Copies of this chain bind each other. A is one copy, B any other.
Amino acid sequence: MSKRPADPANGSAPAARQVPMRDFSRSLPMSLLRAREAVMRQFRPSLREHGLTEQQWRILRALASIEAVEVTELARTAFLLGPSLSRILRDLEARNLIERKTAKADQRRSMVSISKEGVKLMASVAPTSEAIYAEITSRFGARKLAELQEMLGELEQSLAGLGAGNEASAEE
């Protein structure tokens, strides 16, 4: 299909090593990405067996501890963007795992809650999920885990409201 002689008489050595930067693999974003992936890799198989994606599970968990929430609030809790949440809620509702009803006082808002089926599904997933979490805690060390999460929280805090500098002086 794609032959791609690409560059006849190329010969020229590629232009690498021209832009010095920190070792890429040790950047903070990469460290966080790899660590998170290492963790999620443990959970995905179990969730998959129950027909749930990581995000769907996040939503169910967020709903499990409350009666009902507005979509916007749920987005903040489950750390999902509105559009993603909107799609996922549509699907979860179709699977009868959640319920939605328009707020009486404000027709724009819709209150979301987990259904009985949703609760049942959670109950079937939670044990395995907790066991995996326990295994991770045990391997890494409970104390270190707490420290790590403390540091992650501090990192968040120290960056909160950074890049917001443009908002006040928004142009265009």
Contact = CB atoms under 8 A, between A and B. Distances in A.
A151 B10 CA distance: 41
Which size bracket describes the interface of A in this complex?
35 or more
A89 to B, nearest CB: 12
Contacts of A2: 73
A26 B125 CA distance: 18
B15 A133 contact: no
A14 B67 contact: yes
Contacts of A5: 105
Copies of this chain: 2
Interface string A138-165: 0110001101110111111011101100
Given A42-B162, A79-B37, A65 B16 contact: yes
28 contacts: A6-B67, A6-B68, A6-B99, A7-B67, A8-B105, A14-B113, A15-B116, A16-B65, A16-B66, A16-B114, A18-B64, A18-B122, A19-B119, A21-B129, A22-B130, A25-B77, A26-B149, A29-B39, A29-B43, A30-B79, A33-B36, A34-B79, A35-B152, A39-B155, A45-B163, A147-B151, A148-B151, A151-B151
Interface of A: 2, 4-8, 10, 13-19, 21-43, 45, 54, 58, 61-68, 73, 77, 79, 99-102, 104-105, 113-116, 118-119, 122-123, 126, 129-130, 133, 135-136, 139-140, 144-145, 147-149, 151-156, 158-160, 162-163, 166
